[in-house]
């Protein structure tokens, strides 16, 4: 089941602007991961943030995690047309049941 | 919302045997299904993309003869781990997308495979 909720469901911005997507979840987690999916393709892992971390960077990506609010955000800076994709968050509760995915945010970067 | 099921949820098998995992879309037609593998405390790794009625496309490094994928109908894809070894023990997740133009992807609950 998909317990995570990303918002917005869809986001359209101009190239060069920053894009922020949020993810909320309900249970305690070991880590939270963000994935990207281009149309018709499989998921690609972007970044993993552990429950004891508050912020993590990778290139133009910045992820924050607030375990008290059970939420995370993914910021893509200086967006490019090639960033157009769907972005999913997934939580790992550390048990035997693997990841729980959100429904995703569809990001469109207008050239 | 759309539902994807996997069967079995957990399976334990002996080394050398084969295991079949089913992924079903329960209330929509899944033109494309993806198979992922998750190692403990790791992220998902895409194994293959399965389109109904055609051969699966495998990611680099994934042995197609070991991980047989069949997408025989718009609601069912199967992953068969042949001649399983302990290193195949993992969590396998499928996901499904609907008709062209549908942006959402739906994930199955996963199958925990343990090879002894």
Q: What is the pLDDT of residues A64-100, one digit of tens each?
A: 999 999 999 999 999 999 999 989 998 887 665 567 7
CB crowding B41-69: b at 16 or more within 10 Å, else e: eebbbbbbbbebeeebebeeebeeeebbb
Question: Which residues in chain B have Cβ-Cβ distances shorter than 8 Å to A99?
Answer: 38, 44, 93, 107, 110
Residue B35 C-alpha, separation from nearest chain A C-alpha, in angstroms:
8
Q: How distant is the alpha carbon of residue A87 from its chain centre?
A: 5
pLDDT at position B101: 43
* pLDDT range class, residue B94, cuts 50, 70, 90: very high
| Among B115, B106, B110, CA closest to B32 | B106
For residues A60, A61, A62, A63, the Cα torsion angle rounded to the nearest 10 degrees is 180
- Determine if the peptide bond prior to A8 is cis (ω within 30°): yes
* pLDDT range class, residue B100, cuts 50, 70, 90: very low
Which residues of B fall below an 8 Å CB-CB distance to A? 1, 10, 32, 34, 36, 38, 41, 43-46, 49, 59, 91, 93, 95, 97, 103-107, 109-110, 112
């Amino acid at each position: 089941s998909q317990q995570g909720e990303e918002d917005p469901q869809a986001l359209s911005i101009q190239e060069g602007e920053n894009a922020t997507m949020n993810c909320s979840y309900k249970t305690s987690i070991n880590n939270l991961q963000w994935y990207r999916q281009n149309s018709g393709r499989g998921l690609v892992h972007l970044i993993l943030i552990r429950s004891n971390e508050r912020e993590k960077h990778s290139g133009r990506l910045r992820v924050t995690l607030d375990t008290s609010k059970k939420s995370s955000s993914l910021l893509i800076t200086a967006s490019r047309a090639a960033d157009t994709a769907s972005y999913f968050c997934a939580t790992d509760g550390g048990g035997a049941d693997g990841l729980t995915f959100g429904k995703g945010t569809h990001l469109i970067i207008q050239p | 919302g759309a539902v994807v099921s996997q069967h079995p949820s957990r399976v334990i098998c002996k080394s050398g045997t084969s295991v079949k995992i089913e992924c079903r879309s329960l209330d929509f037609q899944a033109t494309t299904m993806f198979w992922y593998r998750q190692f403990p405390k790791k992220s998902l790794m895409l194994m293959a993309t399965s389109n109904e009625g055609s051969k699966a496309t495998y990611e680099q490094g994934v042995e197609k003869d070991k991980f047989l994928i069949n997408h025989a109908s718009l609601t069912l894809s199967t992953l068969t781990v042949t001649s399983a070894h302990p290193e195949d023990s993992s969590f396998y997740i499928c996901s499904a997308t609907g008709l062209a133009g549908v942006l959402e992807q739906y994930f199955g609950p996963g199958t925990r495979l343990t090879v002894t």
